[in-house]
Amino acid sequence: MNAQTNSTHLAVHPELADVLAALPERPENPYTDVAALRADFRRLMAPSMPAHDPRVTVRHAALSGPDGNTLDVQVLRPAGATGVLPGVLYLHGGGFVYGELDGPGPMAREACAAAGAVVVDVRYRLAPEHRYPAGVEDCYATLEWMAAHAAELGLDADRIAVTGASAGGNLAAAVCLMARDRRGPGIAWQGLLIPCLDDRLRSTSARRITDRRITNSVRLAHTWDTYLGPDRAPYTPAYAAPARATDLSGLPPAYVLTCGLDPLRDEGLDYARRLTEADVPVETKDVPGAWHFFEGYAPHTELARRTTAHWLAALRAALTSTSRTPAARA
């Protein structure tokens, strides 16, 4: 069954039908040319990258990474804001391989402006040059740096959220597990947006979404191979694939965003269910008829604007709640 025929059986949101119809088929394994993949992403995001965003100020900092490496971070602060603000560790997506932009990405900027927060956008090490656990350890080191330098950054160490989309959602979930297990900094909220959580790819949605114009399970299998490496162990650690974690208790309140035409939908919803069963407060949002990272391809649609507004409102509410309590430090 070709991609075009397969798509007729999927309920595409009316606002997105023309956008999907115009998309070309993509290679089954995009990681055969990493340089081209990174360049293509930059071209896709270029219209959303203004030379200057008057809503935020940006400064750059460097910190020591876990392996003696240097981590570059961008620290965003709402323009004109004074006093101590909540903090957000933002972890970009991109299949653990790409996703870095020349300046703060749209999601980091929106989080800063909408939540009135200091946002730290880290340039963690990417595969295939640096496979697991390099990237996630970089992200955790950045969380520790934020907490240790809270006064200098003008942020409240008891109000730090961690959020990311796709591979960034994976890293956000993993950082929360690491902070709990290592008795690290408290995390007030985790935002898992279209998260990539399970390397097994056994869910119904993973089997169902095969259209080559959008992210599908074949592409995701190559993503995992690239992140974990061809000689990976037979058992994947939970910090690499958080769905592998057997204990989700004691984690921070969560927000989980999924899309109806995303092969990752079911693993995201299942993780949300398991968090709930572990007595972790969870809010879920599913977007029927939308594919993985549809906002990047259709930012002009009302559906994209509503979806973005929804997770930003959840972030803002979590960081401004008077009853907030960060994840317990054991």
Nearest residue to 76 (alpha-carbon basis) of 36, 41, 40, 116? 116
Q: For this structure, is 262 an active site residue?
A: yes
Give residue 13's Cα distance to chain centre.
23
- Strand 70-78 relative to strand 56-64, pairing: antiparallel
Residue 300's Cβ-side half-sphere holds a number of Cα atoms within 13 Å equal to: 5
**Cα gap 204→181, rounded to integer Å:** 31
Asked if 119 contacts 58 with a C-beta cutoff of 8 angstroms, the reply is no
Q: Pick the catalytic residue: 7, 166, 203, 205?
A: 166
Amino acid identity, position 330 = A
Give residue 244's Cα distance to chain centre.
18
For residue 271, give both structure tokens.
Answer: 């993780």
**Cα gap 40→68, rounded to integer Å:** 31
Residue corresponding to tokens 């200057």: 52
Q: For this structure, is 323 an active site residue?
A: no
- Range list of H helices, 49-166: 106-115, 134-148, 150-153
Cβ neighbours, 10 Å, residue 233? 9
Residue corresponding to tokens 């959840």: 314
Q: For this structure, is 9 an active site residue?
A: no
- Strand 155-165 relative to strand 189-193, pairing: parallel
Active site residues: 166, 262, 292
